[in-house]
Amino acid sequence: MIEKIKELIEEAEAFSAQSMDEIEAFRIKYLGKKGLLNDYFAEFKNVANEQKKEFGQAINKLKTTAQEKVNALKEELESKDEVKGNIEDLSRPGEPIEIGSRHPISIVKNQIIDIFSRIGFNVSEGPEIEDDWHNFTALNLPEYHPARDMQDTFFIQTDPDILLRTHTSSVQVRYMENNKPPIRTISPGRVYRNEAISARSHCFFHQVEGLYIDKNVSFADLKQTLQYFTTEMFGKSKIRLRPSYFPFTEPSAEVDVYWGLETDVDYRITKGTGWLEIMGCGMVDPNVLKNCGIDPEVYSGFAFGMGIDRIAMLLHQIGDIRLLSENDVRFLDQFKSAL
């Protein structure tokens, strides 16, 4: 039997191949699960004790010889293919083309749009430089209303009626003015507020606000919509709504999702409660509908709004919001494989 193994070693050393298929057939014959080596290893227990050492050395040499032959032939063929490709394919680029990166804000925004598009929401957009009517007054925030102080606004000095929008609710006002119910739309976009820049806040950030107007829309419809969103976005189905105040919705609520307390990060971001606030919502105030030319006696609706930056930081474990606007290539390279 040892002589037969020595013959196989010589046969393996002399083997040559012109294609990957031939190399693979050789590998299977010697090294495959049902190959010759497995048969010899299984036979080892039946070999006489005085021959075990020589027999073991022989099959180990056969294994090494076969593996080295496979590696050498593969490397030789790949080298030939590479040289051949370089010579014949003159359209090949001189330098490899690197895969681009999607920004985490774009990744999360596209996910949110996709989730709501499945239940009939379209996308609406509007200007970032707004007038007072669309940003405040139409949203039940008349001049000198104290709730205006909730949002530190950037005004254009030459015209106090012109400002940088503080929320994308202004897009919803424009949409209601130009479209009749039923309305089902989300408004993603960049907004601006005069806030101190830190690891947790910035003077500009991104929001997605949603609006649904139709006959007989109830708070139950709002809760079911948000339940669907949190399950699809976070994989978390447990939510709670806490009473809150927004000038343009009544009743209003803050939405928390139960994030859990499985890791130290969970304890930190939820302050040990397991609950994480993700958005505000409520039923559209009748005054807002009236300001936009919609009869509140016939129609009702709900609205909600969330910060894209905060969700991106949460999902991708980003500790500093400033990273989202610094355009550091080292940071963006982490998202090359993201959709």
Question: What's the CATH number where 142 sits?
Answer: 3.30.930.10
pLDDT digits (tens, 9 = 90+) for 143-166: 777 767 766 888 887 777 899 999
153, 163 contact by CB (below 8 A): yes
Q: Of the candidates 88, 123, 141, which is a domain's last residue?
A: 88
Same domain, 8 and 114: no
Beta bridge partners of residue 240, listed in sequence order:
256
Residue 96 placed within a domain: no
Give dist(CA 15, CA 190) in Å, integer: 66
Q: DSSP letters along 42-70, please?
A: HHGGGS-HHHHHHHHHHHHHHHHHHHHHH
What does the pLDDT read at residue 210?
96
Residues in the chain: 339
Q: What are the start-end ranges of the E strands in 90-139? A: 122-123, 129-131
Give dist(CA 137, CA 143) in Å, integer: 7
Same domain, 33 and 119: no
276, 259 contact by CB (below 8 A): yes
Residue 92: burial class (beta carbons within 10 Å; 0-12, 13-18, 19+): exposed
Same domain, 70 and 149: no
Residue 207 placed within a domain: yes
Residue 30 placed within a domain: yes
Residue 337 has pLDDT above 80, yes or no: no
Same domain, 69 and 142: no
Same domain, 118 and 256: yes
Same domain, 55 and 111: no
Tokens representing residue 219 in the block: 């708070």
Residue 68 placed within a domain: yes
**Total tally of structural domains belonging to the chain:** 2
What does the pLDDT read at residue 226?
94
Residue 42 has pLDDT above 80, yes or no: no
Same domain, 19 and 109: no
Residue 95 placed within a domain: no
Residue 212 placed within a domain: yes
Provide the sign of the torsion angle of the four alpha carbons 192, 193, 196, 199, taken in this order: negative
64, 8 contact by CB (below 8 A): no
Same domain, 117 and 73: no
pLDDT digits (tens, 9 = 90+) for 246-295: 989 999 999 999 988 887 777 877 888 889 889 999 999 999 999 999 99
Same domain, 145 and 282: yes
Same domain, 278 and 171: yes
Range of the domain at 47: 2-88
What does the pLDDT read at residue 284?
96
Give dist(CA 269, CA 280) in Å, integer: 18
Residue 120 placed within a domain: yes
Same domain, 79 and 108: no
What's the rounded mean pLDDT across residues 231-241? 90
Report the predicted TM-score, pTM, of the whole model to 2 decimal places: 0.68
Beta bridge partners of residue 189, listed in sequence order:
207
Same domain, 108 and 31: no
Residue 44 placed within a domain: yes
Residue 140 has pLDDT above 70, yes or no: yes
pLDDT digits (tens, 9 = 90+) for 172-225: 999 999 999 999 999 999 999 888 888 878 889 999 999 999 999 999 999 999
